[in-house]
Amino acid sequence: MNARFPADVASALKHAGWHPGRWQIRQAEAWADALTAYDSPDGHRHSVFPAAVEAWAEFGGIGVDLAGAGEQIARTPFLIDPLRGLHQPRTLADLGRALDTPLAPLGEENGGLGLLAVDAAGRVYSLDHTGEWYLGDTVDRAVTTLVTGALPERLRTAVQLL
């Protein structure tokens, strides 16, 4: 496990119930069904794609409850559960349009203060009241960012860069 994750990340994941080869595909499919069946009052629909289902199957239900100082920012607890974003299809669709990729809910940070999302390429983002953040190009890197308290990259639009 340490070849895939740094030792402290591997330890946190192991403590949360993750192990190499973990694959909860029935739960992932149930989440996919619930998300696609959700009728948003504003007509927006959730996107479901292989990268999301794979992330849910491997990490779904894993909650890491670390707090305190991290490498660059305070670490916050997180939970991988896509239903935590059930009522956010418009938010995810809006950011997905800006990024030119569909987004699916992945879970939450800090008891719901941040929404975790994954795109069709497997990249992971966090959305909170301060903005949108890029956590990593894979779920592994995003989990490492969250566990270690590494500083994520803030997403910026072309308008913000002018």
Q: 97 in helix, strand or coil?
A: helix
* pLDDT score at 61: 98
Summarised one tens digit per residue, pLDDT across range 73-126 is: 999 999 999 999 999 999 999 999 999 999 999 999 999 999 999 999 999 999
Q: pTM score > 0.85 for this model?
A: yes
Stretch 6-29: mean pLDDT, rounded?
A: 97
Domain layout of the chain by residue ranges = 7-161
pLDDT at position 51: 98
Looking only at the bridges linking them, the beta strands covering 78-80 and 74-75 are: unpaired
- Reported confidence tier of residue 12, pLDDT bands at 50, 70, 90: very high
pLDDT at 159 (0 to 100): 43
Q: What is the dihedral of CA 120, 121, 123, 129, to 10 degrees?
A: -30
Work out whether strand 103-109 and strand 124-128 pair parallel, antiparallel, or are unpaired: unpaired
Average pLDDT over residues 148-160: 81
* Contact (Cβ atoms closer than 8 angstroms) between residue 108 and residue 81: yes
Mean pLDDT of the chain: 94
